[in-house]
Amino acid sequence: MCSPFFLKAVLLLAILIQMNAAGSSSNLLTDHVALLKIKSRITGDPHGVFKSWNDSLPLCMWRGVTCGRRHQRVTSLNLTGEALEGTLSPFLGNLSFLRSIVLDDPLSQ
């Protein structure tokens, strides 16, 4: 049996490797695909955050998504307090300009 910590470490490593691989050949479309993959793994979204993650708005305006001013690429995801359930897609690693991700739920601490 693998310990949960071991699995987390392996997942993190896989993400870091993919961040490298995604590198400079990625673009805003890569981010778009990645965000939709992340959305698809969320099984519980009581506040309907992910309803705004649709193509009627540019992805930089999706709830909790911040883009850099210079590159127009996703630089942070802040879904704090949204009580989300699900798993993190490995596509997270394709957000090559991502610098911060906040998924905590202050109410449950």
Ligand X SMILES: *[C@@H]1O[C@H](CO)[C@@H](O)[C@H](O)[C@H]1NC(C)=O
Of 9 and 27, nearer to ligand X (C-beta) is: 27
CB of 52 to ligand X, least distance (A): 3
Please tell me the distance from the alpha carbon of residue 13 to that of residue 101, in angstroms, as a whole number. 16
Of 43 and 56, nearer to ligand X (C-beta) is: 56
By the 8 A CB rule, do 79 and 64 touch?
A: yes
Please tell me the distance from the alpha carbon of residue 44 to that of residue 50, in angstroms, as a whole number. 10
Q: Which residue is nearest to ligand X (CB)?
A: 52
CB of 74 to ligand X, least distance (A): 13
CB of 81 to ligand X, least distance (A): 7
CA distances from 19 to 15, 26, 33, 58, 84 (A): 6, 10, 15, 23, 24
Please tell me the distance from the alpha carbon of residue 103 to that of residue 90, in angstroms, as a whole number. 16
What is the contact surface with ligand X in residues (CB under 6 A)?
18, 26, 30, 33, 51-52, 54, 56-57, 78, 80, 90-91, 93-94, 102
CB of 16 to ligand X, least distance (A): 12
